[in-house]
Chain A
């Protein structure tokens, strides 16, 4: 199912170093939460692997520290992993399940969509389902049509699930801590192409509440709302444009469900111009959702049509050449933001 060679390398850094990667931030958070709360378990494929710690090394060291009873390797059996995480959550544990790639939702969606998402509602509010599902999303590693999708729009449309997609190591730590401590099911989407991005992250525990966007940079001319890896691209574009005298405000919603409408609307009311950048496919996506929210709630603040940059309505191609065309680019963002600014 996932037999491709590793193209990423990583370094586990000195524990006191302030700058760490997203991978390390997630790894440290898992260590911290498992140490803090005995009911936290980690379950999934290859998560206990002593040498690699999963495909991208995110769970490295957990099994040494917490043992095979709490860091559980399973067969390749996504329905059973997600279903068992749901059942364990109903009965008192706080499982962190790994769905190796979000593409594998296809073989376990029932357990998430019809079971975990609905337990609390259909059982009359008598239960909590504190499951975190960590999963990898995104193109950029040449992993092809079945290992590179974004797919979170599918989940965002399902009531009962929260969906999170951090774009940096600081947020990854704060959001994952919140996800694990949250009493609702959370899908935590890790973009595989940004695992090595560095940021300063405190060693201490902290949480970032869901539903609070981050203002990546302030600006007055154009608002860019971007998700996951696209936040990094938007930031690069904003830097470039600022040298041309165009002032761009970049908003990273961080959590997709719940979505911080308020911060987006506030920003659009200031700039009057909105560009949304999302790597997901275009139809019924976060881009269309944000666009609809702004059209409904801030229509009269708009000085130009809302613009969107997404991947096209195609699968993700394996060819690195085609994949580069598929993923939104920094220059596309620059061009459209410039166009909006001049509108």
Chain B
């Protein structure tokens, strides 16, 4: 049973991700943000339910679709907006952008623009936890597209062989970029299970289902029980990247997947969240809007990185040449 304070946090984080994404999407469509952005809408319950089981000392490695993971792990909206605008004060000083937001103080080891590159890195963080015996766990978020990468298989295997405190959190939205993934639900979890770890397939739109699965996986990891894989099914709401017209999807399919995948609505309709007050939720909504507007204003008016910044932080120290 979750306390009311936890339920409020769950609601707030999911809503914050949703509003953050909708707002930056609108800005992006007006050409105000550089590069690529990949929307997380409809997957909010996965990031939030997973990260509510983690502390700042636990690690996550994220994906190109990473805004939701960042927010759920505690990165501030203000820092993220500065980074999305690639400003000098950005969390990565404008050198990472949307696909590389990282915050070590929150155990956020980076979004990643290489599909499937995160799990080996997360395995390394889990190895640190195991070596230092600090009771921490490490989570790799993985898309269904990435599940076909060899790096993910290598990380699964290494996690089992070294009995790492690690969770493979798959988000199966059925599309590997523009190509429908022909796997039946549960195949990804089965595959992970075949490496020798417990695995489950759950409804990723259901906050409580993800929370329960994440909780037992994190407990297993903390108690030396090794890695776990969770496959969360959640239809993709928008395109692969913002601006993707999705000609490869039937209109009806997009419509029906949108209708059935609103984790926030599902959360609020669940009897387990009936203790939440409407007023309080409204207040939260207002705070969230304000937070995003203030962050956005600050980001737009912040300074661009200077010429010198091009050359800094390639190395800690580099003498010669």
Residue numbers of A with Cβ under 8 A of B are: 41, 43, 69-70, 72, 74-75, 77, 79-93, 95, 110-111, 114-115, 119-128, 159-160, 162, 182-184, 209-212, 255, 257-262
A262 to chain B, nearest CB (A): 8
Inter-chain contact B158/A159, CB cutoff 8 Å: no
**Does B151 interact with chain A (Cβ within 8 Å)?**
yes
Q: Kindly state the separation between the CA atoms of A180 and B192 in the bound complex, as whole angstroms.
A: 34
**Do A211 and B117 contact each other (CB < 8 Å), given the known contacts A77-B154, A127-B102?**
no
**Do A123 and B96 contact each other (CB < 8 Å), given the known contacts A77-B157, A114-B117?**
yes
Q: Kindly state the separation between the CA atoms of A148 and B122 in the bound complex, as whole angstroms.
A: 32
Residues B88-124 near A (CB distance < 8 A): 90-96, 100, 102-104, 109-110, 112-114, 117, 119-124
Inter-chain contact A80/B157, CB cutoff 8 Å: yes
* Interface hub of B131, B132, B138 (most chain A Cβ within 10 A): B131
Residues 281-321 of chain B, each 1 if its beta carbon lies under 8 Å from chain A, else 0:
00000000000000000000000000000001111111111
**Do A91 and B155 contact each other (CB < 8 Å), given the known contacts A123-B110, A259-B320?**
no
- A-B contacts besides A120-B313, A120-B316, A210-B319, 8 pairs, CB < 8 Å: A81-B158, A83-B154, A84-B158, A87-B138, A93-B131, A111-B117, A119-B102, A122-B95
Inter-chain contact A122/B96, CB cutoff 8 Å: yes
CB < 8 Å neighbour of A162 from B61, B124, B131, B315 = B315
Inter-chain contact B92/A122, CB cutoff 8 Å: yes
Nearest 7 CB-CB pairs, A to B? A87-B124, A83-B120, A211-B320, A258-B320, A125-B313, A124-B93, A84-B124
Of all chain B residues, which has the CB nearest A161? B315
10 A-B pairs with CB atoms under 8 Å apart are: A79-B150, A83-B117, A88-B127, A90-B104, A110-B114, A121-B95, A122-B92, A123-B95, A124-B96, A125-B313
CB < 8 Å neighbour of B131 from A69, A82, A85, A209 = A69
Q: Kindly state the separation between the CA atoms of A304 and B180 in the bound complex, as whole angstroms.
A: 63
Inter-chain contact B321/A261, CB cutoff 8 Å: yes
Inter-chain contact B125/A111, CB cutoff 8 Å: no
**Does B162 interact with chain A (Cβ within 8 Å)?**
yes
Q: Kindly state the separation between the CA atoms of A111 and B123 in the bound complex, as whole angstroms.
A: 13
Of all chain A residues, which has the CB nearest B134? A92
Of all chain A residues, which has the CB nearest B136? A91
A263 to chain B, nearest CB (A): 9
**Do A83 and B121 contact each other (CB < 8 Å), given the known contacts A75-B157, A92-B132?**
yes
**Do A123 and B59 contact each other (CB < 8 Å), given the known contacts A80-B158, A90-B124, A210-B320?**
no
